Structure 1
């Protein structure tokens, strides 16, 4: 933002000098061209193909130079536009812009609109600008490579985290089943034996032992339930992982829960699919829409199905095809007998998924 303000001030100063020294001789057509150039300038940062804007701006400046014939500050503006382009365009497009600008200035030199020395100085500036553009292009490529490697590292790190969580959940499930099958059954058998002995020999000698066995059995059942609760705490896990993903990706996630989803119990498979769904939605928004604000809504439908929506803003509606990420997401959802819908409006790209609710709640109730 600071750089853009400085560049804008540079444009304003050069135009101010041009109008100050030209005075009242500036024609309405030149004023109109100036307004058009400044309008195009403010679209440079958001345009998908800024090369064409730079071409039009340079052509309009050359047109002013041909009309006014006294173009010292117009020449400075042409060179200033080239300097801005060197920071934004890749090497091929920038060279095309430089060649067209240099040809226009050469024509001006041949018909004595500018001095030959000014044309030579402009050529030297263009040579330096090409070198600067080459360095900027390499820097952008290195930054893109770094971001790609960093994204891959984060993806692997998240996969490792999810795998570890899944392994812990599976281990807790195994421990709960072992406790239930061994200790729980043996305590139940012990209670039955104590009951038989109390019938034969009287209840009084065995009351304390029966109470102790009942307490032990109840504590065992409580431990099993606690382990099973930890197994199905999917929503909390998803919230934790979304928070981590938001911090790593430097994006703002507007996360909304509704319709009793926080009380829903999820299986490990459902937790992983929901997290992968949200992860791919956020990644898709960053890569293809360059969005920094993403809305995630997690809720339950009337028939207790789990519904998740990821929505991000788009700046231009263009046809899209499902890439590997969305195809993999669809496969994961359909493996749980769910559905995935992907569509876009004039302003938003929306991914909506639905998976059947877990039977866990029904079992526990």
Structure 2
């Protein structure tokens, strides 16, 4: 090749590789195709200009091999970088899952502690208060006010301890039934439960579940205080609107005077705030607390 031909050859070669560099940055995954097409175009161009020589072919092949090797190295590094980013992302994901699992484990343990406190200490204190109410009725000559005050304060402190754990109470009618059954066993009264169709599957929020339980608990306390029998009938059903209807009834052998106390008044207010209603009816032979609490749907 003469000097003029060398200038054309190297000019075309440089143009070829600069062009390849730009194309390669756009089409990295197909770099080998770009290099091969570029090589063929370069050979074709040299052939058309009648400048194709053995030396030129060898130079182009060497440059092609070097470019291919560099492309392979760059591709491998790119794949390694992507793999590293993927592993780092998976590590972060696993770390987040691990932290979430630890948080769930702590929450589960706190929930268990809260349930143990609520089911053991809380219910025993409630039963104690009801027994003291019964004793104050049976033995009117003795004053149980201080004992009732201490038991009530202890119960409130227990509830505050449970709330301090930031654990929500269980929801649903099934839990209410379980709690009332436990209260029945501890207070030695006979509760005749009637749970009508569709009630157990009803959805109640935490506040409504607790309100329903407190209403029944207060009604049972009133039954122990004023009734001449230890049998109470509790009925849970569903109204036409889907609300949870409740009725707590106990028999009276003789008419007695009744004045609505603070407990019933507070329960009526609490149920009313949740969109429900509560009423108390007393006749010559029975005492009834009834009402409804809207369900969640």
For normalisation by structure 2, the TM-score amounts to 0.47
In terms of fraction of residues, the more helix-rich structure is 1
Between the two structures, name the one with larger relative contact order (CA 8 Å, sep ≥ 6). Answer: 2
The structure having more radius of gyration, on CA atoms, is 2
